Amino acid sequence: MCGIGGIINLENKSIDIIDGANIISKTLCHRGPDDEGFLFFNDDKTVCGYGEDTQKQSINTHLSFGASTHISQIEQNYTGVFVHRRLSIIDLSETGHQPMCTANGKVWITYNGEIYNYIELRQELETAGYQFKTQSDTEILLYAYLQWGNECLQRLNGMFAFALYDIEKKRLFCARDRSGVKPFYYYFKEGIFCFASEIKALRALSFVETSLNERALQHYLLHDIIEYEPEGFLKDIFELFPSHYIELDLRTKHVDIKKYFNITIENSFTLYNDNDFAVSKEETNQLVTNAIIKRLRADVPIGCCLSGGIDSSIISGVIANHNKNFNAFTAIFPEETIDESKYAKDVVDFTHANWHTITPIADELQNDFKELIYTLDIPIWSTSTYAQFRVMQLAKQNNIKVVLDGQGSDELFAGYPHYYTTYINELLRNKQFKQVATEIKGFGNNFWLSYTKENAKRQLHYNANKKQLNADFVKQYNPPEGLQNSFSTLNEHLHYDFFGGRLKTYLRCEDRCSMHHSVESRTPFADDTGLIIKALNTPASYKIKNGTSKYILRESMKNNLPNSVYERKDKMGFVTPHNKWLAHLLQNNSDLLHSSRLKPFFSDRFFVKIDRLSKKTYRLKSSSDFKEETLAFKALVFTEWADLMKI
């Protein structure tokens, strides 16, 4: 798990590539404090550089990728550089140093992530005749590329973002994992191609020319969506989307972006059947268990994030079967209706985990607000991210470098309330009226209120946001292509959320919050290929039954859960006292909202009147107002982000 970056100067522009490499490295140092490495290259020469943060064992080693020259002594005659910041998780020795190359020095890589099936791939590659000098998954990835070329991506089970330089083919090959667990951003303009794990590393480069992308801002403020298009909040800085790769021919300067993974889902309706369900339940148990166990592969201690919900509790239960002494980390909110600590404690009693808790408060959010926005790289829409930020900080304080988390399960097994609405509509469409009645009865007394609200939620949000935004700004841009409001089947809806943007946004927060504290977060539900394919083709009638969400997941993993969690029907999400915290932020940041530099830029062009935001402060203090106020928070976040990014 690391931070990666690179610069390719294709037209010999007058840029300082060494200074640029240093800037990328320093900006990403939180992602990899254990080691630092550079590869400088041109058509006929490569040199491995080291900096102030390079571990001594990695310098002047016998390895072909050992660092040999301090970056201050590198000459300015190289056209390309790879940058690597290392968080040591597997193979902690100098043999895990990056950038790494094949034995003949013909293929180089800078890589971020974990290939969880690297042991199995190694055995397959050894059978094919390859010999390995390290115990790292990085070397496995290099030789998988040599053996299978681009098709190596089909064999990888895990989270990854990497750039690979093939010297003989004069080709750059960059790829990102299927779900977008690991980030990859790039800039390609006027003959300069550069990439990095985080936008801030590209923004810091003097030769990167960018400005605010108002289209992305409008999507954020009006439609409540983030990064649904490759070009994000900054113009000309693009995100390589999940399941995609880039090929850059260094001779022709031609760029090709392709999608390498997709799932065809079964959309025909399947009635619930006890025998078929039993088979599917056993398959689900094996896939979930194996996904979690594979993500316990590490040479450092592993813990888990524990909310008290189904997903994190399952992970804790499986870990407990293989590790009797592990750490669990929870954000709790005593005396708040959103507090889930009772369920988390039941899991701790069930698993005997070492439990660590944190109770974030409004004053702490105020103190950390600037750091939080800088960490997240782009604007966010909820204070829930701060609770996640503090949980990762808690893990770091307890010397845990790897945690497992439950992201992705809701999008596979239908955990959110809006999926219930889609399922009822699917039943109605297939004339399953008896089952509709059973589901409504199982859901409880608030069914029709919830059903109506979920059907209208997006339009209600849109209308509420629209009232406070400048009319010209509202009309200026259309929603992103492919933004959907309705679905024919539950699995179609789940597939859309898993691959279409929702999950990717959550995973971005997961990555930034964990890596800011030099903690690797692993998400077994989000990036295990076999589990993803199986879950998205599991009949909808197995996922929701008698008003119970994630039914097949509960049943298949029942033995790993305390009864209180297994029987839970309320879905909290990762919630915080959002409105109370927002009221506190608005009171303490009014100077930012009304700053001479930002007010004309923000309120006159985008908002009708920014003064309206301050008037919300006291109403928001009411703890009975459970509905989160999002637009006022987004306005505050944007002003802080714009200030930090010097927009």
562 pLDDT above the threshold of 90: yes
Most confident of the following: 3-17, 434-448, 614-628: 3-17
Task: Output the CA–CA distances (angstroms, integers) from residue 124 to 129, 130, 144, 604, in the order listed.
Answer: 9, 9, 10, 62
Q: Which residue, among 289, 295, 160, 333, has the nearest Cα to 557 in the 3D structure? A: 289
- Rounded distance between C-alpha atoms, residue 286 and residue 531, angstroms: 9
DSSP string for residues in 345-357? HHHHHHHT-EEEE
Beta-bridged to residue 245, according to DSSP, are: 175, 258
- Rounded distance between C-alpha atoms, residue 552 and residue 616, angstroms: 43
Average pLDDT of the residues of the chain: 91
* Tokens read off for 510: 């997961």
The mean per-residue pLDDT over the stretch 282-303 comes to 96
Stronger pLDDT, 458 or 41, i.e. the higher one: 41
Residue 626 — very low, low, confident or very high, per pLDDT cuts 50/70/90?
very low
Residue 150 — very low, low, confident or very high, per pLDDT cuts 50/70/90?
very high
Task: Output the CA–CA distances (angstroms, integers) from residue 250 to 52, 184, 201, 307, 581, in the order listed.
Answer: 30, 19, 23, 47, 50
User: How confident is the model at residue 497, as a pLDDT?
Assistant: 94
Phi, psi of 383 (to 5 degrees): -75, -10
User: How confident is the model at residue 50, as a pLDDT?
Assistant: 95
Q: Which residues contact 583 (CB under 8 A, 6 or more apart)?
A: 616, 617, 618, 620, 621
User: How confident is the model at residue 76, as a pLDDT?
Assistant: 87
- Rounded distance between C-alpha atoms, residue 488 and residue 471, angstroms: 33
Residue 647 — very low, low, confident or very high, per pLDDT cuts 50/70/90?
confident
CB atoms within 10 A of CB 209: 12
Residue 134 CA to its chain's centroid (Å): 28
Query: What's the distance, Cα to Cα, between the start and end of the chain in Å?
Result: 30
Residue 614 — very low, low, confident or very high, per pLDDT cuts 50/70/90?
low
Residue 645 CA to its chain's centroid (Å): 21
The mean per-residue pLDDT over the stretch 267-287 comes to 96
User: How confident is the model at residue 628, as a pLDDT?
Assistant: 65
The 10s digit of each residue's pLDDT in 44-54 is 899 999 999 99
Question: Based on C-alpha coordinates, what's the Rg of the chain?
Answer: 25
Residue 325 — very low, low, confident or very high, per pLDDT cuts 50/70/90?
confident
The mean per-residue pLDDT over the stretch 248-269 comes to 93
User: How confident is the model at residue 618, as a pLDDT?
Assistant: 45
Residue 625 — very low, low, confident or very high, per pLDDT cuts 50/70/90?
very low
The residue assigned the tokens 């977060």 is 521
Is beta strand 302-305 parallel, antiparallel or unpaired with respect to 192-196? unpaired
Q: Which amino acid is at 91?
A: D
- Rounded distance between C-alpha atoms, residue 36 and residue 173, angstroms: 22
The mean per-residue pLDDT over the stretch 27-39 comes to 97
Residue 622 — very low, low, confident or very high, per pLDDT cuts 50/70/90?
very low
- Rounded distance between C-alpha atoms, residue 205 and residue 27, angstroms: 10
Respond yes or no on whether the N-terminal peptide bond of residue 99 is cis (omega within 30° of 0): yes
CA atoms within 13 A on the CB side of 606: 26
451 pLDDT above the threshold of 80: no
Residue 489 — very low, low, confident or very high, per pLDDT cuts 50/70/90?
very high
How much of the chain, in percent, has pLDDT values that exceed 90? Answer: 74
**Quick one: which H or E segment has residue 521?**
strand 520-522
165: left (phi over 0), alpha (psi -120 to 50) or beta: beta
Lowest-pLDDT choice from 150-154, 423-427, 466-470: 466-470
- Rounded distance between C-alpha atoms, residue 200 and residue 340, angstroms: 35
The mean per-residue pLDDT over the stretch 518-539 comes to 97
Residue 597 — very low, low, confident or very high, per pLDDT cuts 50/70/90?
low
The mean per-residue pLDDT over the stretch 176-202 comes to 97
* 3-class SS of residue 592: helix
CA atoms within 13 A on the CB side of 303: 25
User: How confident is the model at residue 462, as a pLDDT?
Assistant: 81
How much of the chain, in percent, has pLDDT values that exceed 70? Answer: 93
Quick check: 545 and 427 in contact, CB under 8 A?
Answer: no
Q: Please, what are the domains in the chain?
A: 2-259 (3.60.20.10), 274-414+491-566 (3.40.50.620)
DSSP string for residues in 138-151? HHHHHHHHHHHGGG
